[in-house]
Structure 1
Amino acid sequence: MSLLPELNEIKTIGKVKCFFEKEFPTLQNMAHTAFVDIKSPVISGMPVSHSADNGAEAKVTLHVYAKDILNKVIISCGGLDYDHRHVLELRYFKRLTWSEIEELTGYNRGYENKRLNEALLQFAWAFADVEDLRVFKDK
């Protein structure tokens, strides 16, 4: 008997893809961050707020929150093996098309897509302490 319930891989992959396609770009915008690659993000300095306005305070709070989550994404990606981290980086950090990824790696789209799905599953486990994107099968 397994200690963990069985992972629903298809739904987990869908949930992690949604995170990278929808939430991740929003977090980057909130953090004023653009990723060149996983190891060398270009991060602007903290915004300075001289106003006692709650709107400005909320913006700074969201900025700090987004930077924290993005840092945790990078740390979680660090737990993936190179091949899986690389395809995740190309697709979601560098926002390359499948054609560009194929050209860069020399592998066909089917192979790269399989590798990306494996990377998304690995990421789901690595990121679980931050946000649990895993979906388990019902018993």
Structure 2
Amino acid sequence: MDNLEQLTIFGNDLNVDKTIKKVRHFFEVDYPVAKRRAHRDVTGLSSPVISGMPKGTPVGNATEERLINRVYCRQVVAATPKTIDECSKWSRKILRWLYLNGEDDTYCINNIPYSERWYYKQLKPTAFIEFAEIYPVEELLVFEKVQ
């Protein structure tokens, strides 16, 4: 990562490796889960039943939490392709191929006019950093603590 080894954004030192790891986790774990959960049917939710019998009061509201989680997942699913579209040309292509179209690194390498080494050393890490900079739903950039 020639020019990615040390990045400073608004006076804060970006931890490139941890940011890339966080974005990779987002695409490999969080995004697929959000896609599955975003489309679950919420019509099965029911109103509370009032009875005269005493019972323990649950902490929190499970129905409300499920709805909030569903809305959050829908935000993630809607924001991800839009964020990819805001990236630079090769970052956009790489992220689309890998995470929206389900292709692999070999496909990407075969469809770019750059070497495999350049893909792994520069293009793919840059795509992850660009995505992290733009993504609006949660913070994906990881900064070093300034001492």
Q: TM-score range by the shorter chain?
A: 0.7 to 0.9
Q: Identity percentage over the alignment?
A: 23
User: Alpha-carbon deviation of 1:104?
Assistant: 3.2
The aligned counterpart of 2:96 is 89
Q: Which residue of 1 aligns with 2:129?
A: 121
CA deviation after TM superposition for structure 1 residue 115, in Å: 0.9
Structure 1 residues 47, 123: closer, same or farther in 2, change over 3 A? same
**How many equivalent residue pairs?**
124
Deviations 1:36-57 (A, max 9, x none): xxxxxxxxxx846165168887
Over alpha carbons, which structure has the higher Rg? 2
Q: CA RMSD in A?
A: 2.7
Listed as ranges, the matches of 1:1-139 within 5 Å are 3-32=10-39, 47=41, 49=43, 51-52=45-46, 61-105=68-112, 107-113=114-120, 114-127=122-135, 129-139=136-146
The 1:50–1:21 alpha-carbon spacing in structure 2 relative to 1, beyond 3 Å, is closer
Distance across 2 between alignment mates of 1:6 and 1:58: 35
Residues 94-131 of structure 1 deviation map (CA, whole Å, 9 limit, x = unaligned):
2212222223335443222221110110111101x421
Q: TM-score, normalised by structure 2?
A: 0.69
Contact 2:23 2:128 in 1 (8 A): yes
Q: Tell me whether 57-66 or 93-102 shows the greater mean CA deviation.
A: 57-66
Contact kept, 8 Å, 2:31 with 2:76, in 1: the verdict is no
Distance in 1 of aligned mates of 2:45 and 2:24: 38
| TM-score under structure 1 length normalisation | 0.72
Unaligned runs of 5+ in 2: 1-8, 49-61
Q: Unpaired segments of 5 or more residues in structure 1?
A: 33-45
